[in-house]
């Protein structure tokens, strides 16, 4: 039950259409596949998505930190010694998606070793989640057509609309068009990826007061400390901290500072181990959470649903689990399927998915 080897394999799979948002855009899933081998021959997998505009990591930096620093520090550690794993990785600051993927691949190989699913190991609350779909920047009619297609094809009725453009009327118009076209029965919420000032955000929320938005995520930067507090005091829409709350310490700062009222948990940046700490922290403080998406592929999405379904609090709301729908292909032997607006946890041991060797050979960049 010891870690024998860790691989970091860069791969690239194009998107059928780019996802655009206030802090960047994604055209290709240029991710890193992590494989953790145990000394009894089992392999656990996870994927790390580089998001330079959010965490400063690149595909090259993820491969380098895993090969040069984490792997040598972790060889020989037991799969059960998660505290040791994290103490060693935390000697290096930053690099959240690299650390998270190593953590999740260790849980996967542990689950395979014990012949138990990660969802069962983590909490075993349910076996599925409702799905929320992210709608990126585009002309209003294109955003509406995408939401309608996703609703009609996959039964999804919860949409997170990307906002944060200037002038704010662009996004107010897009949200209004979506509400008019989709009717009152779908859930709509917004994510600004730090694009607005607090006063722009307040103006936009006021202009959308009649649209029944359920959440407003990261409308302005965390460094607008007093501005964000002021914004919370101006609105009755719960304000979600996403990229401003990526560690337990940041979660405490955002919540106790009054700059956010809910937390987005992303397994892509906090793995299973630290996501569980953040979840319990929020639960203890009486704060709601949403399972976010780091624009994950199918492997990352399988990790999110494995974690989200494991706990009562994370499975209550729809999780953001559908970004992979816009990828041209993926690495798994059996693709994930969203139907009736839900995504089920894979029943097998660990995360429950397998990487197709032919697909990996085709998309990997290092051979
Ligand atoms: C999101 O919820 O913000 C876009 C940038 C990022 O860091 O995550 C995605 C989605
Ligand atoms: Mg966000």
pLDDT confidence bin for 178, thresholds 50/70/90: very high
pLDDT tens sequence across 75-127 = 999 999 999 999 999 999 999 999 999 999 999 999 999 999 999 999 999 99
pLDDT of residue 321: 98
Q: Mean pLDDT score of the chain, rounded to an integer?
A: 98
Read off the pLDDT band of 282 (50, 70, 90): very high
Closest atom of ligand 1 to CA, residue 264? 2
Tokens 């394999």 map to which residue? Answer: 9
Q: Where are the domains of the chain?
A: 3-115+356-363, 120-344
193 lines ligand 1 (CB under 6 A): yes
Buried b / exposed e over 192-203, threshold 16 CB at 10 Å, is bbbbbbbebbbb
Q: How confident is the model at residue 134 (pLDDT cuts 50, 70, 90)?
A: very high
Mean pLDDT, rounded, for 186-195:
98
What confidence score (pLDDT) does residue 291 get?
A: 98
Residue nearest to atom 3 of ligand 1 (CA): 193
Q: Is 254 in the pocket of ligand 1 (CB under 6 A)?
A: no
Instruction: Using alpha carbons only, give the angle 292, 297, 301 rounded to the nearest 5 degrees.
Output: 45
| pLDDT number for residue 80 | 98
CB within 5 A of ion ligand 2: which residues? Answer: 191, 217, 242
Dist CA 28 CA 18 (whole Å): 8
Let me know if the fold of 3-115+356-363 is the same as that of 120-344.
no
pLDDT in tens, 148-163: 999 999 999 999 999 9
Q: Which CATH class is domain 3-115+356-363?
A: alpha beta
CA 19 to ligand 1: nearest atom: 4
* 162 classed as catalytic: yes
Q: Which atom of ligand 1 is nearest to the CA of 53?
A: 7
pLDDT digits (tens, 9 = 90+) for 344-354: 999 999 999 99
Torsion sign, CA atoms 259, 262, 267, 270:
positive
Q: 């624009």: which residue's tokens?
A: 295
User: What proportion of the chain, given as a percentage, has pLDDT over 70?
Assistant: 100
Cα-atom radius of gyration of the chain, to the nearest Å?
20
Q: Is the dihedral of CA 3, 334, 50, 280 positive or negative?
A: negative
Q: Which of 7, 47, 242, 330 is catalytic?
A: 242
Cα(116) to ligand 2 centroid in Å equals 32
3-state SS class at 126: coil
Domain 120-344, CATH number (from 3.40.47.10, 3.10.20.30, 3.20.20.120, 3.40.190.10):
3.20.20.120
Mean pLDDT of all residues in 38-46: 98
Statement: residue 367 has pLDDT above 90: no
- Decide if 354 is catalytic: no
Cα angle 355-360-364, degrees, rounded to a multiple of 5: 140
The pLDDT of residue 162 is 98
**What pLDDT sits at residue 254?**
98
Cα torsion angle, 122, 125, 131, 134, sign:
negative
Model confidence band, residue 281 (pLDDT cutoffs 50, 70, 90): very high
pLDDT at 350: 98
């Amino acid at each position: 039950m010891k870690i024998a080897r860790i691989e970091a394999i860069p791969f690239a799979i194009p998107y059928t259409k780019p996802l655009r948002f206030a802090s960047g855009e994604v055209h290709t899933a240029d991710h890193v596949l992590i494989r953790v081998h145990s000394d009894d021959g089992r392999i656990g997998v996870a994927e790390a998505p580089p998001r330079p505009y959010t965490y400063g990591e690149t595909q090259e930096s993820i491969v380098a930190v895993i090969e040069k620093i984490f792997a040598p520090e972790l060889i020989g550690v037991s799969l059960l010694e998660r505290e040791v794993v994290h103490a060693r990785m935390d000697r290096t600051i930053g690099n959240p998606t690299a650390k998270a993927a190593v953590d999740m691949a260790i849980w996967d190989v542990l689950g395979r070793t014990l012949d138990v699913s990660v969802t069962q190991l983590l909490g075993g609350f349910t076996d599925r989640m409702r799905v929320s779909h992210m709608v990126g920047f585009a002309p209003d009619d294109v955003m509406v057509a995408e939401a309608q297609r996703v609703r009609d094809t996959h039964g999804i009725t919860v949409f997170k609309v990307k906002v944060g453009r200037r002038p704010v009327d662009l996004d107010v118009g897009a949200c209004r068009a979506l509400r008019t076209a989709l009717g009152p029965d779908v859930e709509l919420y917004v994510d600004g990826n730090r694009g607005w000032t607090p006063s722009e955000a307040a103006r936009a929320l006021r202009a959308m007061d009649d649209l029944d938005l359920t959440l407003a995520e990261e409308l302005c930067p965390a460094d607008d400390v007093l501005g964000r507090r002021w914004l919370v005091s101006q609105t009755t829409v719960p304000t979600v901290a996403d990229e401003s709350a990526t560690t337990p310490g940041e979660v405490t700062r955002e919540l106790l500072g009054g700059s956010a009222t809910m937390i987005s948990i992303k397994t892509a940046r906090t793995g299973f181990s630290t996501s569980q700490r953040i979840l319990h922290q929020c639960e203890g403080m009486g704060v709601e959470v949403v399972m976010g998406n780091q624009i994950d592929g199918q492997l990352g999405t399988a990790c999110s649903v494995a974690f989200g379904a494991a706990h009562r609090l994370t499975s209550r709301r729809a999780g953001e689990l559908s970004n992979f729908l816009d990828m041209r292909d993926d690495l798994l032997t059996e693709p994930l399927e969203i139907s009736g607006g839900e995504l089920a946890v894979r029943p097998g041991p660990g995360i429950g998915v397998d990487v197709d060797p032919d697909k990996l050979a085709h998309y990997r960049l290092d051979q």
